[in-house]
Structure formats: structure tokens, C-alpha cells
Amino acid sequence: MIGVVADDITGAGDIGIMFAKSSMDTHVYPLRDAVSAVPTGASGPDVLIIDTNSRLDRPEEAYGKAFEATKKLAEAGCATFYNKTCSVFRGNVGAEFDAMLDALGVSFAIVVLGFPKTGRTTIGGIHYVRGVKLEQSEFRHDPVHPMTRSDLAGILQAQTKRKVDRIDIGIVDEGSETLRKAIASKKTACGYLIIDVRDQASLRIIAEAVKDEPVLCGSSALAEELAALCRPDLPELGTFPESVKALPSKRGGVLCAAGSLMPQTAAQTRYLREKGVAAIELDSLLLLNAERSPEHQREVADEAARRLAACEDVLIYASNVPEKVAETKRLASLQGLENTAVSRLVSEALSETVKSVCDRTGQRQIVVAGGETSAAVCGKLGISAFRIRKEIEPGLPSCESLEPGRRLFVLKSGSFGGEDFLWKAIGHLKEEGGWT
């Protein structure tokens, strides 16, 4: 069994689909349920992912969660371990990498952050987003983890006492055997070894060179090539099991919830509105007002439920106009709230609203945009575990919950997906849910 620790729920889905595409049964559990619910041994899946939901935590809290998750994976019988992080190193990267190594009692890990299919590449140790240095990309303005440098070794070294080294793309280009020898020569001199990635061919070479390494860290992209090496003769996942086919076959709408402030999600919500999808704003300024917030949330839920009952698709989105976001931050600051607290406040309100709508309508087909929002929604809906199903776009799968009364859903990282992704996800859920 392969064990993965992911620092947010959309990242868990992102890496999960890389394995599921090679017909590897892949399950995701939140850390809070992993102690009692994770299957072990022969009864377990091929790939077991534990979501720590720790990207917004303090480093020491993130360390504790990653340590606990790694221990649980080892107890479950996992032999290969993967620490899945954001593809631009947002979060508590050093603390969580250290936690995995400490929990396993080992001293070395391979780190590969490049994800060419989503525009992330690493050349000469410098990380790029669609050809732009990380520090000059939209992630420089991330409200919680602003990325102000592009050298991956420097970013990671600032978060760990273990020595960080790297291997240049020129070595990768020479092939897997040369790369394997280069890795072996550096193992005793460093704790983390970052490897450049130019394209998918780079990832294939790296996968061949590191396939026997016990600990891997970074984005999900390498997992796709590793899975292909594990299961070269198996086709991609086909149809849903009968339990999922049994979802209601009547016509109906899909509920979308968007809490991310990334420009990609803003463009995707704008695209839905242009397509005529009913869009209802959850006003962040009203959410800061303790007296008006409950009534505002009820009004949004009422409108969404009414439209879903009329078989319309519905989008509920947190305020994403830059001017309103800036004013929200200003007012929050006057209340003593930092950006992380504001993010959680909005995610909590959005998830409460989604739950209210689902309780009233029985809605079971849902699309959620934003890692923090996705975790909050799953928590409110009682989704304690899910199976990865089909890829819609790179790193963006559909999922089915494993508890009784299954739900079919899509959880999207805020920075992933093309402009039309939410529209495509709605269509995907309708098709897979049995609509005609």
C-alpha cells in the first residue's frame, strides 16, 4: 500500500487521481477519522491518503498532524510514503516534511514540485508558474502565504534544519540511470533533494530513478508517472460502481460553492454567470457583522434552495471583487482578525450555507472551489471518507463519498483549472450521476 499525507483536501484529490487513473483503488480520509476508520492490510485500498487540513495551521501544529498521519499510515501497512504539498510550496512545507521523516525514523527524501500539466516547472532550482517566476506570479499576492521568492531550496531551507540540495535539469536530461547515481551521491550529504522538472518527459525519467525510494515529497505530478510504472498494463478507470449509478436519475441542478480568492476561481465563477448559471453572492462584509450575518446566510440559502428545486444549477460564491476583498480585510483588521481568521470565517459561513441548502433539498451533486472551503463543506456534510473516481482536468477529479447516502462531488484547488472548469464539472456530475 502507498501512503500519502496531504495538507489539504483538494491536494488529496489532486494526488489521488494520479493513482486512480492507473486503476489503483484510492481512498481519502480526514485525519480526525483516520485513527478509527482507516482500513489496514489486505482489506485496505491500493493508495491510502490522509488529509491533515494543516496548510493554515501554525508550523508546530502542522508538524504534529503530519507526524500522527504518517504513523497511522505505517500502522496500516504502507511501505511507500508521499508527502503531498502545494505545487508552489505554500503552507508548512518544512515542518510537514520533517514530521514524516521523524515519524519514519529516516533521514532523506526526494522533493519534486514541478507539475507541467498545470504550468509549474523548476529550472535551475527556480520555480515557474506558466513561464513566470513564482515570486512574480499571482501567488505573490496570496492572502495567507504570499510567495516572495522563487528558489525552492531557499524556501525549504528556511523551514527546516535538515540540509537542502538540488539536482539540475541537465542531469535529468541524461536519463534515469545517471539521475539515480547523482541521487545516490548526495544522499548522505543532505536531508532533502529537490529535482528540476521541465516537462512530462522529465517526470518519467525521475519516476524511473526514484521508484524504489521510500519517501517522496512535493506536488502530485510525479505520482502519475510512478503509478504508470506500478500498473503499466491496466486501463484507466471506467464506469462507476452500481452503488453510484443508483443516484437519482431525475433531471436536476448541481450546487457549486466557491470560496477561493485566486484569479483562476474568479474567472471560473464569471464564466458560470456568463453561461446563465444562477449566482448568489455570500457577502464577506455582511459576514463580518455578527448581527446581520445569520440573516444574510439564510437569505442566500433560501434563494439557492428555491432555484435548485426548480432544477436550476446554482453557484454560491464568496465575495471576490478586489475592492470588496480589500475592504473586508480592512474591517477585519479593526476587529483584530488576521487574514487566516478571515479565510476560515468565510469558509465556515459558506459551508454552513451549503449544508442548509443540502438539508432542505437533499442535494447530492456538489462542486466546491477552494481548499479551505472544500474541507469545511466536507466536514459540515459529514463526508468522512471518499474514493477518487475520474479525472476532469489535470489534478481535478470527481469523487464519491464512502458513507451511506453517497454523494458525488468535485473539490477544486483555487488555482487549478481552466476558465470553463466549473462549467465542465457541472456537466460531468450530471452525466456520471445518471441524468439524461
Q: Report the pLDDT value the prediction gives residue 241, as an integer from 0 to 100.
A: 40
- Contact (Cβ atoms closer than 8 angstroms) between residue 6 and residue 52: yes
Nine-digit cell at 91? 503552507
Helix (H, G, I), strand (E, B) or coil at 370: coil
Domain ranges of the chain: 2-230, 242-432
Neighbouring-strand partners of residue 408: 365, 400
Q: Report the pLDDT value the prediction gives residue 142, as an integer from 0 to 100.
A: 87
Detail the DSSP E strand segments found in 87-202. Answer: 109-112, 120-123, 126-129, 132-133, 164-167, 192-195
Nine-digit cell at 196? 528540476
Taking each continuous run of H as one helix and of E as one strand, the counts in the chain are 17, 18
Q: Report the pLDDT value the prediction gives residue 45, as an integer from 0 to 100.
A: 87
Topology of domain 242-432, per CATH?
Molybdenum Cofactor Biosythetic Enzyme; Chain A (3.40.980)
DSSP per-residue string spanning 373-408:
HHHHHHHHHT---EEEEEEEETTEEEEEE-SSS--E
Pairwise CA distance, residues 235 & 57, whole Å: 39
Pairwise CA distance, residues 97 & 111, whole Å: 10
Pairwise CA distance, residues 91 & 97, whole Å: 11
Query: Check: CATH 3.40.50.10840 for 2-230?
Result: yes
Q: Report the pLDDT value the prediction gives residue 402, as an integer from 0 to 100.
A: 86
Q: Report the pLDDT value the prediction gives residue 237, as an integer from 0 to 100.
A: 41
Q: Report the pLDDT value the prediction gives residue 339, as an integer from 0 to 100.
A: 84
Pairwise CA distance, residues 157 & 403, whole Å: 41
Q: Check the CA dihedral 349-380-301-55 and report its sign.
A: positive
Nine-digit cell at 420? 470553463
Helix (H, G, I), strand (E, B) or coil at 320: coil
Helix (H, G, I), strand (E, B) or coil at 57: coil
Could you tell me the CA-to-CA distances from 201 to 58, 66, 116 in Å, in that order?
36, 31, 10
Taking only the tens of pLDDT, the chain with its 436 residues reads 899 999 999 999 999 999 999 989 999 999 987 655 666 655 678 999 999 999 989 999 999 999 999 999 999 999 999 999 999 999 999 999 999 999 999 999 999 999 999 999 999 999 999 999 999 999 998 888 899 999 999 999 999 999 999 999 999 999 999 999 999 999 999 999 999 999 999 999 999 999 999 999 999 999 999 999 986 555 444 433 443 344 443 457 999 999 988 889 999 999 999 999 999 999 999 999 999 999 999 999 999 999 999 999 999 999 988 899 889 989 999 999 988 888 889 999 999 999 999 999 999 999 999 988 999 999 999 988 899 999 999 989 999 998 777 899 999 988 889 999 999 999 999 988 753 3
Cα dihedral value 173, 174, 175, 178, nearest 10: -130
- Contact (Cβ atoms closer than 8 angstroms) between residue 235 and residue 23: yes
Residue in the block written with cell 539515480: 180
